[in-house]
A and B are shown apart, each in its own frame.
Chain A
């Protein structure tokens, strides 16, 4: 027994020994438990509040890459930058010609170089590859000879292709951009001057100047069933750079889920240089059609080619095929403002073989979101040269605005409908100022500060009103006093939600002196304030567009645009407003019209006939968001000229502007009686065929200017819930709307 005890003791001590040997660290840690609180702080408060020393700074690097604050002269730029395009000289490619024409017809352009903030040379810098047929030589000297060049300061230069065979060096532009802002495709993170240069998408020669293809995959089936998971069809290069990734793609090809086919056929000498895989690759390659793959695949591989960017990026985007990027260090187009995380998947060229695993693990709800975003971005920023150029200008304009007034549009305005091209940067500084379809929960107000005496500002610093707001402003356009006008004013006065009346008086006769509208008997509210603005003195030459000019007088987001003789009841005004609050991005109103394609004339037709659908709601009696009216005022010069010339069609143009920006049809409300816009300003009656011809030609002018027909159709009408239902009228809230019928 003694021995037994002894052995047990020995065993235990051995165990202890072992425990100590292996577990000593744990044990030690247990004993000296500390948490660092007795350690000194990383820096004393004195160190943290260090002032710059009086010693002179020694310049460390002599040339640093440009930034807006070092290479751009803001002093010449107003809130809306003016662009001067040099007069054409020398040959330009088709793409550059389209690009210049878009700028020349935009609202930014100026003919006076002295008031210009940005300069665009008419020298074609798109293609810097001397081997290319589009290449323009001698760019460097011609640029330096430009009268306002000054080492490129405030110049904007476009470039799509840099470098040439065999190494396609990114820096090889054939000229020194100096301090000019480069809008360039295929830029890498290394060469890109962050916050200064702008990254462009690579687009085809055939890319349309305006309009452009609508997005191809606007359906949102869930989960999205497409035949293939991942697709790629493209060249691989048997000589020169840019093919490392593409050469290995055949490893992933399985002929069904993953279609990754390449061909060696390109250039002249591929047959001499071909490798052992070429024949087999070519065979597989010919089995698949490129367009079909784009349409039937969930993901599309966008692999680098000779340069970082490729045409297929835009092609995939248009087709709603989610791009999977295999192009390390590429700065994506407009990534300064576009959040690409919402639309693409980043893969890593170094981890090529993990790509199938990567795309398989994207959950279906993410795919749905990615797909929608590709469609949104394509339509908003890429589908035409006009959009690409405007986006470039818009980014620059916003940088300038930000420098001046520290405001810019939120990331969410850029990356969600209506997008940056459908909103004006200088209009507001919060998302709630813009007509956004998805309701935004307004943040609670910040605590107030005491009002301090201000140094009186020269212009009232009026911020735009929030959407949707609790009231509307009636914006009347009147050319004469009439019983109808008096009746309308009386009805407006008894409306529950009207906050203010603005009358735009467009007549030779003296404007009525009206300060306020008294309410009906029994209505305890204050009289309704009225502002009468004489259009002939305030907005001479504006013509019919003057009716929406005095936005400074409009304190609400909801603007009820009314003809002076619109036969609307107070009930109808209020019902329209209650509906509009749910659709602030649309025109909501009473008189509807439609457009149609006239096969016989091969032109657009305009009709007031009652069909099953409508596409315009005339702002003779409709609610419109204030921001849309501001956008109308900032419209392209050519369109506004057309309206001025015709002294007509301003209502059609407004419908086109809104439909183009929001991509939604207008909303028509319950029919009380057939509303006839008594266009008293045209001596002809509204049924006059002349009138229709004119409006028809307007419609066609607008469609040409946009490059497509922006109007959209709708088949529904919104009525009050119990409208014309067989129940007692006493139950109904909007009874008068039913009583009067024609």
Chain B
């Protein structure tokens, strides 16, 4: 083998040696290059020290807390907390939005074990704080680059006043690289103050730092600057969302640390009424067993926190601190909290409306507890009760939720345009439905008039008749013809009827029914009349009156032909009904007035599945529109003037009948389908229609305002 290979080498020696040299040179060069650059980087890094580093920033490592930093005894302290800080004075807004961010960016300082000169840690590191930092690190706000950070979070655990030394933490904060008097720093705290004074804000020189703290009162809370958070309770996290069918107690008090004077008041209430279940520690316990509670006189034992679910109302009373961890247990158990804690700032009170989830009773009024609770109406009880679990799961359910809510509140302050509205924060859509975009109670003004939008394909003759009739309506401002035929061009302008109102033809790129509901820029009025090209039987009086009715109900569909949906018990499905009935639930958009915003909703806000269904079936766009408006406004449409024949007179052959039946079953299918997509039957049936005041009235001597109405 060896000989053979030698032979080979010899045979190609010249060639190989040349290649060898090439390889050699190449690799030596490469090696040199790597080594040199490596040395260069190391040296450069070592020399440059804290000078601007390269763009590589490493995310903070939450696991290594071993790096020790000693604080000398004479290290400088931070400034005391500024009690009158506002967002405008103590927050450097220029740090936000750097690098094109449209949201706040947060930097977490590297974790260090700060130790006193004697070698004691200045603070314990807790699981909850770890989770806060971990949440921030994985949130959309996190940045590893301190230079572009808008908020900076010191990685010293300050959640519990008892587990850190204020003096040394102050030194540690001062030693932070970007401290700068606490500007744009965020400090989390849940248990503030120590005996005997129990300050309602963390006892620490925090200077200008924002405090996300629990238990603020209205004096220590800096309005629009600090964020009030709840005291996290680990117990609450294990409470599930199941509820008993019936609540056994009206009010439960399961808090262990109720101050004695208030406890006496409660005891006197409990002794005279069965409505209050007053629970306390179990007496036989040597060490407090927190999973048990005993009725304070009989000693009957209850399991905690399970017992909370049996109450409709549960008490949280001020104690050493203003808010208690039990509040979270109560909310998670879907028991309506009764907060008895004067001048407390409730968690997230700037955004979460506590009036919707809790009762607040002044401490003076604790004796009237029963009277106040009895006076709560059935409706309010229902509203409070159903709000609780939703709010809990949205804002309070875990450290992660609490942290993210805090950050969101700060984000909304810095970027007010992204702020969500009251309804988004406080009104679950499954309970309250969507928000009506037209909420101002007005009668729309008559002067702008309405724009007629005619969808047409090729029935030119009928179209021209319609246009000639339409222009006789006084309030018509403009006609828009949507030409839905791509193969054929609209007739030349010379052939169009000569009219005294502006007319515009829009050619569509695809023959879709949804084109009639596109919010064209050419519709300059609030009101649009959607009309089919064969609806030539409406008189100018009827149209004018229809417009006047729409003006009084500008958020509804107001139109002429109406239909009804009915539940078919045989097929267990919805059926579309076009007979002469005493009820209506839809107004067909073959001739109907509606606000332009609904066209915009139809195009941009309606579930895509509905629009897809309409375009696929080439039918039911009017039913979809009725569903859409009824779903958003929760109001039925309005039918105007008596029944008319809306079928074209010439199409009365036998073929129509079978086509009709097919048509009806398809439309029934539409109703079924839309009900599924919207999640509920949005349509409502009503028994009234709108007529002119003098309709079918004779002999009053006053001329009728809309004389030509109701002829068949």
Contacts and interface: CB of A to CB of B under 8 A. Distances in A.
Contacts of A56: 196
Contacts of B93: 348, 350-351
A48 B597 contact: no
A512 interface: no
Contacts of B384: 446
Interface string B184-204: 000000110001111100000
Contacts of A273: none
Contact of A53 (B64, B190, B195): B195
B525 interface: yes
* Chain B: number of interface residues, binned into ranges: 35 or more
A733 B580 CA distance: 12
Which 8 pairs from chain A and chain B are nearest by CB? A463-B377, A612-B705, A55-B196, A36-B130, A446-B385, A7-B27, A42-B126, A53-B195
Interface string B29-53: 0110011001001000000000000
A443 B382 contact: yes
Given A716-B548, A716-B692, A463 B191 contact: no
B422 A412 contact: yes
A329 interface: yes
Interface in A495-550: none
Interface in B129-152: 129-131, 134
A732 interface: yes
Given A411-B355, A614-B693, A406 B431 contact: no
18 contacts: A40-B124, A48-B191, A48-B324, A55-B195, A60-B197, A218-B440, A218-B444, A221-B596, A406-B360, A406-B362, A406-B372, A411-B426, A439-B634, A452-B273, A611-B693, A716-B545, A716-B552, A721-B639
A47 B160 contact: yes
A10 B24 CA distance: 13
Nearest to B363: A69
A447 B688 contact: no
A341 to B, nearest CB: 6
Nearest to B355: A410
B128 A41 contact: yes
Given A362-B417, A449-B248, A611-B702, 6 more contacts: A49-B319, A219-B448, A219-B526, A464-B377, A612-B706, A719-B689
A451 to B, nearest CB: 9
B31 A716 contact: no
Contacts of B38: 14, 17-18, 21
Interface stretch (A389-397, A427-435, A628-636): A427-435
Interface string B296-325: 000000000000000010000001110011
A329 B705 CA distance: 55
A57 interface: yes
Interface stretch (A131-139, A643-651, A664-672, A676-684): A664-672
A732 B702 CA distance: 30
Contacts of B702: 609-612
Given A442-B382, A718-B689, A732-B582, A189 B374 contact: no
A211 to B, nearest CB: 18
B618 interface: no
Contacts of A718: 688-691
Interface string B557-584: 0000010000000000000000011111
A582 B249 CA distance: 37
A609 B355 contact: no
B692 A36 contact: no
A612 B342 CA distance: 59
A45 B290 contact: yes
B422 A51 contact: no
A218 B442 contact: yes
A50 interface: yes
A40 B126 contact: yes
A579 B126 contact: no
Contacts of B549: 715-716
Given A43-B190, A220-B438, A579 B94 contact: no
A90 interface: no
A457 interface: yes
Contacts of A25: 58, 61
B419 interface: yes
A455 B712 contact: no
Nearest to B433: A441
B223 interface: yes
B301 to A, nearest CB: 18
A457 B320 CA distance: 34
Contact of B321 (A29, A50, A358): A50
Contact of B693 (A29, A411, A610): A610
Contacts of B231: 48
Contacts of B319: 49-52
B197 A57 contact: yes
B89 interface: yes
A454 B250 CA distance: 12
Interface in B221-257: 223-224, 231-234, 243-250, 255-257
Contact of A454 (B130, B372, B374, B695): B374
Interface string A701-737: 0000000000010111111111111110001111000
A83 interface: no
Given A406-B359, A612-B705, A440 B526 contact: no
A610 B62 contact: no
Contact of A39 (B126, B272, B431, B696): B126
Contact of B443 (A189, A328, A433, A665): A665
Nearest to A404: B365
Interface on chain A toward B: helix, strand, loop, or mixed SS?
Answer: loop
Contacts of A585: 441
B157 interface: yes
Contacts of A609: 700, 702
Contacts of A368: 437, 597
B23 A3 contact: yes
Nearest to A350: B93
A740 interface: no
A712 B444 CA distance: 12
Contacts of A415: 422
Interface stretch (A97-105, A170-178, A369-377): A369-377
A339 B245 contact: no
Among B361, B583, B696, B712, the most chain A Cβ lie within 10 Å of the Cβ of B696
A405 interface: yes
B416 A717 contact: no
Contacts of A611: 693, 702, 705
Contacts of A614: 693
B379 A724 contact: no
A432 B422 contact: no
B288 interface: yes
B441 A417 contact: yes
A689 interface: no
Contact of B27 (A10, A218, A416, A714): A10
A722 B635 contact: no
B494 interface: no
Contacts of A373: 440
A377 B191 CA distance: 41
Interface string A407-423: 11011100111100000
Interface in A337-395: 339, 341-342, 345-346, 348-351, 358, 361-362, 365, 368-369, 372-373, 375-376
Contacts of B198: 52
Contact of B526 (A220, A403, A715): A220
Interface string B54-87: 0010100111100000000000000000001011
A91 interface: no
Interface in B483-527: 519, 524-526
A21 B94 CA distance: 35
B362 A190 contact: no
B325 A48 contact: yes
Given A7-B31, A57-B196, A220 B422 contact: no
B378 A342 contact: no
Contacts of A7: 23, 27, 30-31
